[in-house]
């Protein structure tokens, strides 16, 4: 018998949509439209930058009974096949700007990568723990800026993702630790290195600035999607489905739309891997709690047991639903995006990228989940935005799932 999707309506968001707590207000202030515009300007200054595609899936929307379904395809981001570089690049650049005593808005990319800047800031080693995508983004940014990076991956990480990180000039290893233990390990390494800096979207007491910068970097994606929707005649989506590991990306997307649209903000649903659903557990508990254990999931990018406090404040205040999705939900989404109805463009979406679409499809097609569908107000008038956060970052695993049926989805009930 297949594992069920679990869900919870966020009573905090329902009760307090008009008044933010002090902590939430501080986190939301990082993601105002003005702040995000500054971040987007930085990203646009990178020579390889261009907005990733927003794919409109009219055929799939019709089959699911939705008005519209859009998928932001991050497999095109800077040639790195995932969105994470947005956060890592901005955080690394902001740190260097801080060392120079400069405003990042007045520090052109060409100057950032110049030998003069490297001479002025000295040699820095950026440390990070990752399942692959975040670490590759940090390594890419550090390499571009003439700096070093040390990347540690949790046990079971993909060999090809390790090699991709090394190809960006990093010293990278797969450890015998889980993700949360690897974070503590790189924290210790950086503390023992006079020139070491941790670049992580997980936070802890005394370490919130860089996670906040990473969230701001992620928000470029939300701003792009918003502009692309406007260009397609959509004033605002009715629903946004956003996946979460530690939650920094989900908080960035939620924070952007909350600031941009206020009371007209889309209904946001946070989607986690069932094996590591710390935010789902947290909304039930009413406070940020960890999900501990030695579990396995195909969604390696979401395999995080401890949430980010900076983003949690935004999500606890503003996100409307939290869901815990078994692996079959992601596998279904991958297959549907790879082979959509006639007329729709296929999207090559990896294990952590497709879970939002898999969830939407399941809610719309299976009566077992009619209560959640009705609670969300999903139906014929809904304009839904999902984000495919990665492409086939592990091509063999992608083929195992999409071609050969690894992780079966089960039958429609």
Closest alpha carbon to 385 in 222, 256, 264: 222
In-domain check, residue 68: yes
- Indicate the residue among 175, 205, 235 that finishes a domain: 205
CA distance 332 to 299: 13
Strand locations in 137-280 (E): 148-153, 171-174, 196-198, 239-243, 267-273
Range(s) of the domain holding residue 166 = 85-205
Residue 345 included in any domain: yes
- pLDDT for 11: 83
Say if 413 falls within a structural domain: no
Burial class (CB in 10 A: 0-12, 13-18, 19+), 221: buried
84 has catalytic annotation: yes
- Residue 148 is part of a domain; what is its CATH number? 3.40.50.1100
Position 21 scores a pLDDT of 80
Domain shared by 30 and 172, yes or no: no
Considering the domain boundaries, does residue 409 fall inside one? no
Query: Is a pLDDT exceeding 60 seen at residue 18?
Result: no
- Pick from 3-17, 130-144, 351-365: least confident: 3-17
Q: Give 1 or 220, the one with higher predicted confidence.
A: 220
Neighbours of 124 (CB within 10 A): 20
Q: Give the angle 302-183-175 at the CA atoms, nearest 5°.
A: 85
In the chain, how many domains are there? 2
Task: Look at residue 412 in the predicted model and tell me its pLDDT.
Answer: 45
Q: 410 pLDDT exceeds 70? A: no
- Catalytic pick among 84, 148, 187, 348: 84
| Shared-domain flag, residues 274 and 172 | no
pLDDT value at residue 14: 60
Same domain assignment for residues 318 and 393: yes
pLDDT digits over 205-223, tens only?
A: 999 999 999 999 999 999 9
Give yes or no: residues 144 and 238 share one domain. Answer: no
> Are 156 and 289 members of one domain?
no
- Rounded CA separation 101/207 (Å): 20
Question: Would you say the C-alpha torsion 76, 79, 84, 86 has a positive or negative sign?
Answer: negative
- Are residues 172 and 214 located together in one domain of the fold? no
Statement to judge: residues 251 and 349 lie in one domain? yes
User: H helices then E strands: how many in the chain?
Assistant: 18, 11
pTM of the predicted model, to two decimals?
0.95
Catalytic residue among 72, 73, 131, 180: 131
Cα angle 80, 195, 100; round to 5: 80
The answer to whether position 143 is within a domain reads: yes
> What's the pLDDT at 132?
87
Answer whether residue 407 is part of any domain: no
Residue 299 lies in a domain: yes
- Whole-number pLDDT of residue 47: 93
DSSP-based three-state secondary structure for 202: coil
Give pLDDT tens digits for 389-399.
999 999 999 99
Question: pLDDT tens digits for 46-102?
Answer: 999 999 999 999 999 999 999 999 999 999 999 999 999 999 999 999 999 999 999
**Catalytic residue status for 348:** no
Q: Residues 73, 115: one domain? A: no
Percentages (nearest 5) of helix, strand, coil residues in the chain? 50, 15, 35
Residue 188 included in any domain: yes
């Amino acid at each position: 018998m297949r594992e069920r999707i679990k869900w919870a309506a966020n009573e905090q968001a329902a009760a307090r949509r008009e008044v933010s707590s002090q902590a939430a207000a501080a986190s939301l202030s990082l993601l105002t439209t003005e702040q995000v515009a500054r971040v987007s300007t930085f990203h646009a200054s990178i020579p390889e930058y261009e907005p990733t595609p927003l794919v409109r899936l009219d055929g799939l929307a019709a089959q699911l009974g939705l008005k519209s379904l859009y998928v932001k395809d991050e497999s095109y981001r800077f040639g790195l096949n995932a969105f994470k570089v947005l956060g890592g690049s901005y955080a690394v650049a902001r740190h260097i700007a801080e060392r120079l005593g400069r405003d990042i808005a007045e520090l052109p990319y060409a100057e950032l990568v110049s030998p003069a800047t490297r001479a002025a800031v000295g040699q820095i080693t950026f440390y990070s723990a990752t399942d692959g995508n975040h670490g590759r983004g940090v390594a890419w940014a550090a390499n571009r800026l003439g700096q070093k990076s040390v990347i540690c991956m949790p046990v079971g990480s993909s060999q090809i993702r390790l090699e991709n990180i090394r190809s960006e000039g990093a010293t990278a290893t797969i450890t015998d630790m889980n993700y949360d233990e690897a974070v503590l390990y790189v924290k210790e390494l950086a503390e023992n290195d006079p020139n070491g800096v941790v670049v992580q979207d997980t936070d802890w007491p005394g370490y919130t600035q860089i996670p906040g910068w990473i969230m701001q970097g992620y928000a470029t994606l939300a701003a792009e999607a918003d502009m692309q929707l406007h260009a397609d005649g959509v004033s605002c989506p009715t629903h946004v489905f956003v996946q979460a590991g530690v939650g920094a990306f989900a908080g960035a997307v939620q924070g952007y739309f909350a600031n941009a649209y206020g009371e007209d903000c889309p209904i946001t649903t946070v989607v986690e891997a069932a094996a590591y659903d710390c935010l789902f557990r947290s909304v039930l508990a009413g406070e940020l709690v960890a999900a501990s254990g030695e579990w396995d999931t195909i969604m390696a990018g979401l395999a995080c047991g401890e949430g980010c406090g900076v983003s949690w404040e935004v999500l606890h205040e503003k996100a409307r639903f939290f869901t815990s999705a078994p692996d079959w939900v992601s596998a279904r989404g991958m297959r549907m995006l790879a082979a959509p109805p006639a007329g729709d463009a296929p999207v090559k979406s990896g294990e952590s990228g497709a879970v939002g679409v898999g969830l939407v499809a399941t809610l719309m097609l299976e009566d077992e989940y009619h209560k959640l569908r009705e609670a969300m107000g999903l139906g014929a008038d809904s304009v839904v935005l999902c984000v495919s956060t990665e492409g086939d970052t592990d091509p063999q695993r992608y083929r195992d799932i999409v071609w050969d049926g690894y992780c079966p989805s089960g039958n429609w009930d």
